[in-house]
Amino acid sequence: MTDEAENLILEHLKRFQGGQERIERDLKEVNGRLSQVEIGMAAVRGDVAQLSGDVARVQLAFDGMSERIDRIERRLELA
């Protein structure tokens, strides 16, 4: 091969290598962002689970008060 052809091939290889390095940097950034999204989703899931527990506790308290009201109404012969 001539020196000119070898230089041209080397230039293309360097350009490809530079492009590959940019892709690798971008991929690392995307992976970092994805990890942050996953952490955020886990936090949201935790919040939803806690809210579900809170709703269950409120429902239990409401059921207890409803039973008490029913007993009071029966004693007072309102129902």
DSSP class of 2: -
Contact call for residues 48 and 39 (beta carbons, < 8 A): no
pTM here is 0.63
| Widest Cα–Cα separation across the chain | 110
Percent of the chain scoring above 70 in pLDDT: 97
d(CA 62, CA 27): 52
The confidence band for 1, taking pLDDT boundaries of 50, 70 and 90, is low
Tokens of 16: 């490809």
Does 55 score more than 70 pLDDT? yes
Encode pLDDT of 15-38 as tens digits.
999 999 999 999 999 999 999 999
Tokens of residue 65, six digits: 């008060």
Q: DSSP string of 1-27?
A: --HHHHHHHHHHHHHHHHHHHHHHHHH
